[in-house]
Amino acid sequence: MTYKLKSMNNILKLSLSVFVAASLVACGAGAKDKKGAATDLKVKLEKLKKEKNSLDADIRKLEDEILKADPKSAENIQKLVSVDTLRVQDFVHYIELQGKIGTDGISYVAPNGQGGLVRALYAKVGNRVSKGQLLVKLDDAIARQAVVAAQQQTGQLKARLAQAQTVYERYQNLWKQNIGAEIQVINAKADVDALAAQLRAAQAQVGLAQQQANMSNVYANASGVIEQVNVRVGEFFSGVTPDGRSAQILIVNSSNMKVEVNVPDNYVARVKKGDKVEVVVAETGKPPFQSVISTVGAAIDPTTRSFVTEAKLPSDPLLKPNQTAIMKILDYEAKGAVAVPVNVVQSDEKGKYVYVMEKSGDKMVARKKVVIVGEAYNGKIEVKSGLSGGELIITEGYQTVYDGQSLKVVM
C-alpha cells in the first residue's frame, strides 16, 4: 500500500510540473516576438508529450502491479469504452456548393413593333399557352386607317392605269393606219409605264400598312406556362415594365430545367463534364435528383474567381426558376474502402493513429494502430492503410486509453 501511495504521489508531482510548465509557456509568450515564442512553444510541447508518454508508462506499470497484488481490483482499472465494427464499404467524397434552378425555356413576350396601348388581354398567370397563340391585342386604329388609305390610292391608280392603257391602245391602232403622230404613241406608252410603276409602289404600301396593322397582335413566342403578367388593358405594352426591371409577360417552359452553380477556381482540376451530381432542393421534400454535369465554363470570372457549372434536371412542377439548390459533385470514389469517424483519428509526432480493441489472453485491451488517411466527408474519413476491416474501433473513450490498457465495453 505504501508503494501505491508513493507512486500516486509521484504521478501527482509530475502532473503538477506539467501544469506549471504549461502556465509558464502561456505567461512567457508575451515577452518574446511571435516567431521566437512559436519556436519555444513547439519545443515545450514536444517535451510535454514525452513526459506524458513517460507518465502513461508509469500508469500502466502501476496498474499491472495493482492487478498482481489485488486481482479483484481488475474491474476498477478497466477503461470503459464504446466500440464499433469496421465494415468494408464504398467511400465517396462530394463537393457541396449552393446554386440556383434555371431553365432555357424562359420567354419574354414582346411586340414586333414599338408597342402600343392594350385593347384586349388574353394572358393570365398560370395559363398554359402554345407557341403562336394570341396573347395581347394592341390599339390598331391608326394602322387600319393607313391600310384603308393605301388601298384607296391603289384603287385610284388602277383606274388611271386602265384609262391610260385604253388611250395607248387607240393611239397605237391609229398609228398602224398611218393616222396621227408617232410621238403620241410613245407618250401614251410612257404614261402606262409610269402609272404601272406607281401602282406597284401603292400595292407594296398596302402590304406594309397591313403588316404594321398586324403588329398590333402579340403572340406567344414559345410554349409553356404564363409566369407573370405585369400589364393591364389601357396600359402601354412594350415588353418590359416602365422601370425596365421586369418583363410584362413572362412564359416559363419547365421541360428544360437545370441547376446552375459557380464553382471556386481551386476545384478546376476536380470538376469536369460528365461527373455525377446529386441536386438537393429542400423545398420539394424529395430525395436528391440524380444527374451529371452537362456544362463547365471555359473562363474564370475575375470578380468571383469561379466558373459556371450546369446539370440538367427532370421536369417537375415543384422546381421553379431561381429556386435555391445544393449541388453535390462526386469528385472521389473508392470501392471496398475502410472509413472511420473523423473524430477518432488522433495525431502525434509519428503521424495519425486510432485505437482498436483486441483480445489478449482472457481480457480485451486497447491497441494503437498507425493509419494513413485519405479524403474526409460527412463525418467519415477514408483509411488507406493500417486497417483492413473487421476491427473493433473504439468510438468513445479513445482520448484517454493507451496501448495495452484493459478495456470494458459499455453496453
In degrees to the nearest 10, what's the CA dihedral of 195, 196, 197, 201?
100
- pLDDT tens-place string over residues 173-220: 988 888 888 898 899 899 999 999 999 998 998 888 888 888 889 999
* Angle ∠(186,189,193) on CA atoms, nearest 5: 135
Q: What is the pLDDT of residue 13?
A: 45
pLDDT at 331 over 90: yes
- pLDDT tens-place string over residues 231-279: 999 999 998 888 888 889 998 887 788 999 999 999 999 999 999 999 9
CB atoms within 10 A of CB 85: 9
Grid cell in block for residue 88 = 468494408
Confidence of residue 15 (pLDDT cuts 50, 70, 90): very low
pLDDT at 372 over 70: yes
Q: What is the pLDDT of residue 179?
A: 85
Confidence of residue 337 (pLDDT cuts 50, 70, 90): very high
* Mean pLDDT, rounded, of the chain: 85
97 or 247: whose pLDDT is higher?
Answer: 97
Grid cell in block for residue 75 = 474491474
Distance CA 125, CA 224 (A): 11
pLDDT at 60 over 90: no
Residue 256's identity, in one-letter code, is N
Q: Coil, strand, or helix at residue 167?
A: helix
108 or 50: whose pLDDT is higher?
Answer: 108
Q: What is the pLDDT of residue 274?
A: 95
pLDDT at 7 over 80: no
Distance CA 273, CA 1 (A): 72
398 or 113: whose pLDDT is higher?
Answer: 398
Distance CA 112, CA 145 (A): 19
140 or 276: whose pLDDT is higher?
Answer: 276
Distance CA 129, CA 124 (A): 10
Q: Measuring CA to CA, which residue among 193, 192, 172 is closest to residue 183?
A: 172
Q: What is the pLDDT of residue 67?
A: 57
Q: What is the pLDDT of residue 146?
A: 87
Q: What is the pLDDT of residue 410?
A: 80
Q: What is the pLDDT of residue 255?
A: 78
Q: What is the pLDDT of residue 8?
A: 42
| Rounded percentage of the chain residues whose pLDDT exceeds 90 | 51
User: How does DSSP classify residue 397?
Assistant: S
Distance CA 298, CA 179 (A): 85
Q: What is the pLDDT of residue 50?
A: 73
Q: Is the pTM for the entire model greater than 0.85?
A: no
Q: What is the pLDDT of residue 185?
A: 86
pLDDT at 71 over 80: no
Distance CA 75, CA 73 (A): 5
Q: What is the pLDDT of residue 227?
A: 86
User: Comparing 29-38, 172-181, 198-207, 307-316, which segment has the lowest mean pLDDT?
Assistant: 29-38
Grid cell in block for residue 79 = 477503461
Distance CA 411, CA 409 (A): 6
Distance CA 345, CA 375 (A): 13
Burial class (CB in 10 A: 0-12, 13-18, 19+), 165: middle
User: How does DSSP classify residue 244?
Assistant: S
Q: What is the pLDDT of residue 309?
A: 96
Distant-in-sequence, close-in-space partners of 118: CB < 8 Å, separation ≥ 6: 136, 137, 138, 139, 231, 232, 233, 234, 235, 236, 237
User: How does DSSP classify residue 160?
Assistant: H
Strands annotated E in 44-140: 79-85, 88-103, 106-108, 116-121, 128-129, 134-138
Q: What is the pLDDT of residue 176?
A: 86
pLDDT at 365 over 70: yes
Distance CA 351, CA 110 (A): 67
Strands 79-85 and 407-409 turn out to be parallel
The DSSP H or E segment spanning 150 is helix 141-176
Sign of CA dihedral 88, 89, 90, 95: negative
